[in-house]
């Protein structure tokens, strides 16, 4: 019998996973797996568990928010022998799962984890760390890890909006030199992100629709410092309307990028604090992550999620 490690965060989202655990495990067993269950106990516990397990698992399934997925993927990259990862999203925004059309229904997601198809997806290296779908600095990037879990559970995505609204009149800016293989940009920015996702922070289309998850390139978006409130308003309107305004933004694709600044800048990796750095080197790890997706799903093409006939 094949072996499966199920790592889940019991505190993620609104706690909907707990009453479904038995049904989810039943799906795994019916799929032909002997299942080991591990509920995480603290921050970085998923990272520790996946990095140190010694059993010969054929599949690791994680459940939680983007942070739990990030820990699982980071740990798997560090292992000598990687195995495919299944994902049951139970977080507040679940950007990456939505981009790959992983079902929102927990039982359908569990079914996808054991009966789906492995998809070789790009992820990123960030200095000595790893991120799954977004590395970002600046405006509102600390909202996801500064917002208390109990507030997220009650208000959901609205919690992020309310927390972010508190900072609208206190926006820091950073003088940064940005270098790629074919360009060097020096400017003052209030926000920057390197992504491999169709949505960020629950907002779809911020990086456009031309996102291919296995092409070896990231989408880069850099927002310049506005000179007055009118310009700031125009930037916000552009983002909400999913429009790129070249007067205030740089947008391009690249497989490698370096950020250099005089001061240390706080970064966010997949919604979790990524440390403060004055130099950041990001590289695309092409098709490094094997993640289970629906058999009929084509992640690199924008389409409506299909429902399994079960």
Q: Is residue 307 part of a domain?
A: no
- According to DSSP, residue 18 is labeled G
Let me know if residue 309 belongs to a domain.
no
Residues 169 and 276 in one domain: yes
Q: Domain range for residue 70?
A: 2-123+287-293
The number of domains in the chain is: 2
As a whole number of angstroms, the distance between CA 8 and CA 106 comes to 12
Judge if 114 and 196 occupy the same domain. no
Instruction: Tell me, yes or no, whether 308 lies in a domain.
Output: no
Residues 198 and 206: their CA atoms lie apart, in Å, by 7
If asked whether residues 135 and 248 sit together in one domain, one would say: yes
Which pair of structure tokens corresponds to residue 16? 């909907």
Residue pair 94/104 in contact (Cβ under 8 Å)? The answer is yes
Same-domain status, 265 and 156: yes
pTM, two decimal places:
0.82
Identify the pLDDT of residue 3: 97
Residues 181, 135 within the same domain? yes
In terms of domains, do 187 and 135 share one?
Answer: yes
**Any idea what the CATH number is for the domain that residue 55 is in?**
3.40.50.10330
Cα–Cα distance, 274 to 285 (Å, whole number):
18
Do both 87 and 151 map to the same domain? no
Cα–Cα distance, 12 to 23 (Å, whole number): 18
Contacts of residue 85, Cβ cutoff 8 Å, sequence gap at least 6: 59, 60, 61, 62, 72, 73, 76, 289, 290, 291, 292
pLDDT at 18: 86
pLDDT one digit per residue (tens) for the chain, 310 residues: 899 999 999 887 667 788 899 999 999 999 999 999 999 999 899 999 999 999 999 999 999 988 899 999 999 999 999 999 999 998 767 788 888 999 999 999 999 999 999 999 999 999 999 999 999 998 765 544 444 444 344 434 444 444 444 455 567 889 999 999 999 999 999 889 899 987 666 555 555 567 889 999 999 989 898 887 777 777 777 766 666 666 788 989 999 999 999 999 999 898 888 999 999 999 999 999 999 999 765 444 333 333 333 3
Query: Do residues 53 and 25 share a domain?
Result: yes
At 205, give phi and psi (nearest 5°). 85, 5
Same domain, 60 and 36: yes
Looking at residue 305, its pLDDT comes to: 34
Question: Does residue 137 share a domain with residue 89?
Answer: no
Query: How is residue 114 written in tokens?
Result: 């054991």
Same domain, 203 and 250: yes
Token digits of residue 296: 């009929």
Joined together, the tokens standing for residue 86 give 């299944």
Does residue 54 belong to any structural domain of this protein?
A: yes
């Amino acid at each position: 019998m094949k072996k499966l490690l199920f790592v889940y965060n019991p505190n993620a989202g609104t706690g909907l996973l707990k009453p479904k655990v038995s049904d989810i495990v039943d799906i795994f067993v019916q799929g032909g797996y002997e299942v080991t269950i591990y509920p995480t106990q603290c921050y970085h516990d998923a990272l520790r568990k996946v990095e140190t397990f010694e059993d010969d698992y054929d599949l690791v399934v994680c459940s939680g928010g983007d942070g739990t997925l990030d820990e699982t993927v980071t740990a798997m990259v560090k292992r000598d022998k990687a195995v495919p990862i299944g994902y049951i999203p139970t977080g507040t925004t679940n950007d990456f799962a939505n981009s790959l059309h992983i079902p929102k229904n927990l039982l359908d997601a569990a079914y996808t984890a054991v009966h789906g198809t492995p998809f070789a997806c790009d992820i990123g290296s960030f200095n000595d760390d790893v991120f799954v779908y977004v590395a970002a600095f600046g405006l509102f990037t600390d909202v996801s890890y500064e917002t208390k879990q109990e507030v997220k559970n009650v208000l959901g995505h609205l919690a992020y909006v309310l927390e972010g609204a508190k900072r609208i009149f206190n926006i820091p800016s950073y003088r940064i030199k940005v270098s790629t293989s074919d360009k060097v940009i020096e400017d003052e920015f209030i926000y920057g992100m390197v992504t491999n996702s169709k949505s960020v922070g629950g907002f779809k289309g911020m990086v456009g629709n031309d996102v291919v998850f296995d092409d070896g390139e990231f989408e880069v978006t850099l927002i310049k410092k506005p000179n007055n409130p009118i310009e700031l308003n125009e930037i916000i309107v552009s983002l909400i309307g999913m429009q790129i305004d070249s007067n205030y933004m740089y947008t391009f694709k690249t497989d490698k990028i370096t950020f250099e600044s005089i001061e240390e800048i706080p970064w966010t990796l997949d919604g979790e604090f990524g440390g403060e750095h004055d130099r950041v080197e990001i590289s695309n790890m092409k098709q490094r992550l094997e993640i289970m997706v629906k058999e009929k799903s084509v992640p690199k093409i924008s389409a409506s999620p299909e429902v399994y006939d079960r």
